[in-house]
Amino acid sequence: MNEILNEISTQLQAGKAPKVKELVQQAVDQGLSPQDILENGLLAGMNIIGQKFKNNEVFVPEVLVAARAMNRGITVLRPLLVAAGVEEKGTVILGTVKGDLHDIGKNLVRMMMEGKGLKVIDLGVDVSADAFIEAARENNAEIIACSALLTTTMGEMKTVVEAVKASDLNGRVKIMVGGAPVTEAFAESIGADCYTPDATAAAAAALSFYAA
Ligand code: B1M
């Protein structure tokens, strides 16, 4: 792997946010693509931390500082990944479902969708079904996009689907779901309109709803 990408991954794992930001800027200045820096630097480091967390080699505080470093690095990439001045093609309401505080993947989904020219209203984390619906209604959104990282919270997506179906938004708003424990089969079983495995695919799928 490229040396600077390796260093970004290492410093991210050590939670060195200012250093990560500096290295990401250096990588950009060296001409590496934002996608390469994201996938092979930042996400590579986060994956290693995730594995160590799973094996009880690191704990919540270490994961939190690594997550902070990841978000700091993303601030450099964000304007490069989001096409400036692209005409908005539609509105998406995005959030991590109720009970779930993981937001790194959700933030990537936002970035990729904005990069496709979609307007994204990000409700943050711990978002209830009612809050998704209210925001979709207020903003005339065509898509509600839910992220979940816990097997204990992915069931909340079913609550969102059922609440939308029981509301005036039924048939007008598509529901997209994703996040590490979510699968195509799960999405189908709860009646969601779309499952995608990663942020890039989520953005492409959202765009395809508008093109349809
Ligand atoms: Co947590 N955590 N965590 N955690 N955490 C996981 C998810 C876990 C798998 C770790 C493990 O045990 N191996 C595990 C879940 C187990 C399970 O349910 N099966 C877990 C646990 C158990 C917990 C706590 C319960 C721990 C505790 O307190 N005992 C707790 C729960 C808190 C809560 O939410 N209520 C908790 C807390 C935390 C921190 C706060 C410390 C921190 C979150 C910080 C933050 O997000 N700001 C954290 C982190 C960082 C992780 C890991 C290490 C990394 C997650 C991450 O950001 N990955 C994670 C282990 C792992 O994943 N390896 C873990 C990088 C991110 C880019 O990937 O979010 O999957 P991801 O997004 C991907 C795709 O999933 C997809 O696109 C992205 C890639 O392009 N995607 C979508 C995401 N949303 C999408 C939506 C879409 C489409 C695609 O359409 C709408």
Least confident of 101-110, 125-134, 139-148: 101-110
Last residue of a domain, one of 24, 52, 83: 83
Which secondary-structure segment (H or E) carries 19? helix 17-29
The answer on 73 and 144 residing in a single domain is no
pLDDT at 179 over 80: yes
Q: Whose CA is nearest to atom 61 of ligand 1?
A: 50
Distance 149 CA to ligand 1 centre (A): 5
Which secondary-structure segment (H or E) carries 164? helix 155-165
Mutate to test the pocket of ligand 1, among 39, 56, 149, 160 (most ligand atoms within 8 A of CB): 149
Q: How far is CA 171 from the centre of its chain?
A: 25
The pair of structure tokens assigned to 75 is: 């601030």
Model confidence pTM above 0.75: yes
Q: What is the mean pLDDT of the chain?
A: 91
The answer on 101 and 26 residing in a single domain is no
- Dump pLDDT digits (tens) for 41-51: 998 998 898 78
Answer yes or no: are the C-beta atoms of 43 and 79 closer than 8 Å: no
The answer to whether the CB of 102 is under 6 A from ligand 1 is yes
The answer on 103 and 7 residing in a single domain is no
Q: Which CATH number do you get for residue 96?
A: 3.40.50.280
Look up the domain containing 152 and give its range: 91-211
The answer to whether the CB of 202 is under 6 A from ligand 1 is yes
Residues 6+ apart with CB under 8 A from 192: 157, 161, 175, 176, 177
Q: Which CATH number do you get for residue 9?
A: 1.10.1240.10
The answer on 98 and 78 residing in a single domain is no
Distance 177 CA to ligand 1 centre (A): 15
